[in-house]
Amino acid sequence: MYRYDEFDATFVRQRVDQFRGQVERRVNGELSEEEFRPLRLMNGLYLQLHAYMLRVAVPYGTLNSAQMRKLAFIADTYDRGYGHFTTRQNIQYNWPRLPDVPDILEHLAEVEMHAIQTSGNCIRNVTADHWAGVAADEAEDPRPHAELMRQWSSLHPEFSFLPRKFKIAVTGASADRAAIRYHDIGLRLKKNGQGEVGFEVFAGGGMGRTPMLAPRVRDWLAKEDLLPYLEAIMRVYNLHGRRDNKYKARIKILVHALGAEEFTAQVEREYARIDAPHIEPEQQELKRIAAYFAPPDYDALPGDDPALALRLEKHEDFAGWVERNVSAHRAPGYGIVNISLKPIGGIPGDASSDQMRAVADLAETFSLDEIRISHEQNLVLPNVAKRDLFALWQSLGEHSLADANIGLASDIIACPGLDYCGLATARSIPIAQDISRRLGDPARQREIGDMKIKISGCINACGHHHAGHIGILGLEKRGEEYYQITLGGSGDERASVGEIIGPGFSAENLTDAVETIVDTYMGLRENGETFLEAYRRVGPDPFKEAVYATH
C-alpha cells in the first residue's frame, strides 16, 4: 500500500489548515454560503436535507486497518456510530457539525487520509478495480497509476473549476469490475504484442439523465504519457465543455456533440503541443510509487487446502459463503474474500463502527493488513490464505458480516435517496430493503443466480441504475414517488445501458413487479444462462408482457 512521505503529509496538513481558516471565515460571516460552497465541496462537505454530509476519500478503494479504525472512531465521535460506503469507493458521514469538520480532517490526516475533491466540479477521487493487484486476470496492478493520478489531480490549479464533476476509473484486468466506460475517463491497462503494458483510453461516459458509454479515444498510450495525455483531455473539456446548463455540462455531452472522432482529434492536437516533458513524472518517481504496491510476501502454499475441503463438505453454510464470496486470487493457496454489506433487509453499504473495527482486526490477522471498498458497496479482504477461511468466516458471522450473497439478488446497490439526499426525488433505501426481503431467501437467490439490482433516488444515478441488470429509478409526480424500471444494463467489459420497460410503479407495487421480472426469467432461461444473458437473448418483450399484464 502507498504510504505518505513528508511531501504528502505536509500537503494534506496544509489543506486542513487552509480549510480551517475558510470554515472560520464562514462561521464569522466573512464568507457567504455562495462563496463557501465550492470551497467546502472541494473538501468533501455537502449540505444535505437534515445536516452536513462529509464524504471521505478512500483513494482507489484501498485502506489498511489503522485507517479503518480511524473511520470507526470518527463514526463514534462525530456521527451516530455508523458510516455509509458509496458507489465511489468512499465513505460518507451523515451527521457531522460544520465546526467539527476541520478536526475530523485532522484525524484523517493522522492516518494519511483526506476528503479532498470528493465533491465539487473538479477531478474526483479516482476509482479502481477493487481486486486490483490480486485478481487472477490482470495485466498489471492499476493502483500505482491511480495513486499517481490522485497526486496529479489533487488541487490541480488548472482543473479545479471545471464545467462539472469529473470521474476517472482505472482497471488492469480483462474483466471490468470498475465500470470504466461509465466514467468521464476510463483507463484499462493491457499488454501489446511485444509484451509492453500501456493504456487503452475511453472518454465521455457517464450516467445521470443522459447515460452514455465512453467511446475509445486511444487504443494505446504508453504508460509514461498518461499525465500529459490526461491534461490534454482535461484542457479540451475545460475550455469547451458547456457551462450554460448543468445537465449538459459533463464531458459526455461535449464528446457526443462533437462526435468521438472530432473530440479525439481535438485532444490529439492539444496533446501534440502540450508541454509533455515537463508534465511527465520522472521514471524514478513512477518506480517509487510502484514499489509500494509490490506484491506482499505470500506464504508458499499448495493451491488447495485439504482442511478446507473437509470443512466445505461438512458445513453447508460455509460452503455457500465460499462459493459466492471468495474469488480467485493470483497467489496459490489464497483467496479474495468479499464481505457483504447487504444483510437481508439492511441498508446497502452501511457499516457500524463495531463492524468497521471488526473488519480492521480481521484484516490485520488474516489479510496482510489490507482492506478494499468496492463500488458495489461491499468490503474486500484481498489476501486471505485458504487455510484461514473457516476461522475468518466464523468471526465475520459474529459481527453479522457473513451474508453469502455477493452478486446475488439481495446484493443491491442503492444511493441514500430521500432519506438523506437533498437532491432526491424518491426514497431508495426502503425500496432496497423491501426487495432484499422479498428475494433474499438463501436458496431462492442462489437459484436465481447472478443478478445486479441497482437503485437511484433521482436522475443523477448515484445508484448506477443504468448499469443494473434490473435498474430502478425513483421519481416524483405530483407529490407521489414512483419508480421506473430499466432492464439489461451492465457495467462490465460488455457494458450496456438499461432500457426502460414502460410506465413506472408505485412504491407499493414495485417489489411485485421486480419479482415478476425475476420469475419470468426463471421460466424462460435456458442452459443455466444468467439473467443478463437471457435478457440479451430474448429482449424486453416477455418481461413487459408479464409485468404489465399483472399490474
Partner 1 sequence: MPLIRNGEIVADTWRVLEEVEDIPAEGDVIVSLERLKNSTKQIAARADRTGVAIENSADPVELEAHLAHLDLIALEFPAFTDGRAYSQARRLRTQYGFTGELRARGNVLVDQAGFLKQVGFDSFEVTDGQSLEIWNASARSMTLTYQRGYDGGQAIREFAR
Contact footprint for ligand SF4 (CB under 6 A): 415-417, 421, 423-424, 456-458, 460-463
- Give the nearest distance from C-beta 165 to ligand SF4 in angstroms: 12
Looking at the Cβ atoms of 213 and 458, the one nearer to ligand SF4 is 458
List the single partner that 73 binds among partner 1, ligand SF4, none, CB under 5 to 8 Å by kind.
Answer: none
Instruction: Return all residues near 117 (Cβ < 8 A) that are at least 6 apart.
Output: 42, 44, 57, 123, 124, 125, 153, 154, 155
Looking at the Cβ atoms of 156 and 190, the one nearer to partner 1 is 156
| Phi and psi angles of residue 134, each rounded to the nearest 5 degrees, phi first | -125, -15
**Strands in 59-101 per DSSP E:** 62-64, 82-85, 91-93
CA dist 388 and 176 (Å) reads: 28
List the single partner that 431 binds among partner 1, ligand SF4, none, CB under 5 to 8 Å by kind.
Answer: none
Looking at the Cβ atoms of 427 and 469, the one nearer to ligand SF4 is 427
- Give the nearest distance from C-beta 17 to partner 1 in angstroms: 7
Instruction: Please work out, in degrees rounded to the nearest 5, the angle formed at the alpha carbon of residue 489 by the alpha carbons of 487 and 492.
Output: 155
**DSSP states along 358-419:** HHHHHHHHHSTTEEEE-TTS-EEEEEEEGGGHHHHHHHHHHTT-----TTSTT--EE--GGG
Neighbour count for residue 222 (Cβ, 10 Å) = 11
Looking at the Cβ atoms of 59 and 457, the one nearer to ligand SF4 is 457
CA dist 295 and 126 (Å) reads: 21
Instruction: Return all residues near 106 (Cβ < 8 A) that are at least 6 apart.
Output: 16
- Specify burial of residue 444 (Cβ count, 10 A radius: 0-12, 13-18, 19+): middle
SS3 444: helix
CA dist 81 and 354 (Å) reads: 8
List the single partner that 457 binds among partner 1, ligand SF4, none, CB under 5 to 8 Å by kind.
Answer: ligand SF4
List the single partner that 10 binds among ligand SF4, partner 1, none, CB under 5 to 8 Å by kind.
Answer: partner 1
List the single partner that 461 binds among partner 1, ligand SF4, none, CB under 5 to 8 Å by kind.
Answer: ligand SF4
- Give the nearest distance from C-beta 273 to partner 1 in angstroms: 5
Three cell numbers written together for 207: 450516467
Instruction: Please work out, in degrees rounded to the nearest 5, the angle formed at the alpha carbon of residue 87 by the alpha carbons of 472 and 10.
Output: 160
Looking at the Cβ atoms of 368 and 497, the one nearer to ligand SF4 is 497
Looking at the Cβ atoms of 238 and 327, the one nearer to partner 1 is 238
Which secondary structure element, helix H or strand E, spans residue 350, and what is its range? strand 350-352
List the single partner that 421 binds among ligand SF4, partner 1, none, CB under 5 to 8 Å by kind.
Answer: ligand SF4
Looking at the Cβ atoms of 123 and 472, the one nearer to partner 1 is 123
Looking at the Cβ atoms of 223 and 387, the one nearer to partner 1 is 223
Contact positions vs partner 1 (CB under 8 A): 5, 7, 10-11, 14-15, 17-18, 21-22, 35, 38-39, 121, 151-152, 154-162, 227, 235, 238-239, 243, 273-275, 278-282, 285, 288
Per-residue CA distances from 504 to 61, 408, 476, 548 (Å) = 35, 24, 10, 10
| Phi and psi angles of residue 363, each rounded to the nearest 5 degrees, phi first | -65, -40
List the single partner that 39 binds among partner 1, ligand SF4, none, CB under 5 to 8 Å by kind.
Answer: partner 1
- Give the nearest distance from C-beta 467 to ligand SF4 in angstroms: 13
- Give the nearest distance from C-beta 113 to partner 1 in angstroms: 16
List the single partner that 151 binds among ligand SF4, partner 1, none, CB under 5 to 8 Å by kind.
Answer: partner 1
Looking at the Cβ atoms of 14 and 174, the one nearer to partner 1 is 14
Looking at the Cβ atoms of 93 and 166, the one nearer to partner 1 is 166
| Phi and psi angles of residue 434, each rounded to the nearest 5 degrees, phi first | -65, -45
| Phi-psi sector, 204: left (phi>0), alpha (psi -120 to 50), beta | left
List the single partner that 460 binds among partner 1, ligand SF4, none, CB under 5 to 8 Å by kind.
Answer: ligand SF4
List the single partner that 417 binds among ligand SF4, partner 1, none, CB under 5 to 8 Å by kind.
Answer: ligand SF4
- Give the nearest distance from C-beta 191 to partner 1 in angstroms: 27
- Give the nearest distance from C-beta 427 to ligand SF4 in angstroms: 9
- Give the nearest distance from C-beta 258 to partner 1 in angstroms: 15
**DSSP states along 470-497:** EEEEEEEETTEEEEEEEES-B-STT-B-
- Give the nearest distance from C-beta 161 to partner 1 in angstroms: 3
